[in-house]
Chains A and B, each alone.
Chain A
Amino acid sequence: MIWKYAMGLFMAAVIIASFLLVPPTQGLGDMGRIIVYHVPTAWVAVLAYLMSMVHSVAFLRTGDMLRDRKAAIAAGLGTLFCVLATVTGAIWARGAWGMFWNWDPRQTSVFLLLMLYAAYFALRASVQDPDRRAKLAAVYAIFAFLTVPFLVFVVPRVYPTLHPNLINVAERRYEMDSILRLVFLSSVVAFTGLYLWMFDLRLRAENLIDQLERERGN
Chain B
Amino acid sequence: MAISFAVGGMELDPALIAALMWVMLFFTAMTGIARAYVQEEETGTALALRLAADSAAIYIGKVLSSFVLLVGVAIVVVPLYLVLFSVAPAMPLALAATVVLGCLGIAVTGTTLSAIVAQVTAQGSLMTVLSFPVMLPLLWIAISATSTAFVGSNLVALAPDLAFMFFYSGMTFVASLVLVEYI
Contacts and interface: CB of A to CB of B under 8 A. Distances in A.
Interface of A: 60, 108, 112, 115-116, 118-119, 122-123, 126-128, 132, 135-136, 138-140, 142-144, 146-147, 150-151, 155, 158
Interface residues of B, number: 27
B137 A138 contact: no
Contacts of B140: 108
Contact of A119 (B122, B130, B160, B183): B130
Contacts of B136: 112, 115
Given A132-B119, A136-B116, A60 B182 contact: yes
Interface of B: 112-113, 116, 119-124, 126, 129-130, 132-134, 136-137, 140, 160, 168, 171-172, 175-176, 179, 182-183
B172 A136 contact: no
B120 A136 contact: yes
A150 B164 CA distance: 10
B46 to A, nearest CB: 14
B133 A143 contact: no
Contacts of A135: 182-183
A136 B119 CA distance: 8
Contact of A143 (B123, B132, B168, B179): B179
Contacts of A132: 119
Contacts of B171: 146
Contact of B116 (A112, A123, A147): A123
Nearest to B167: A150
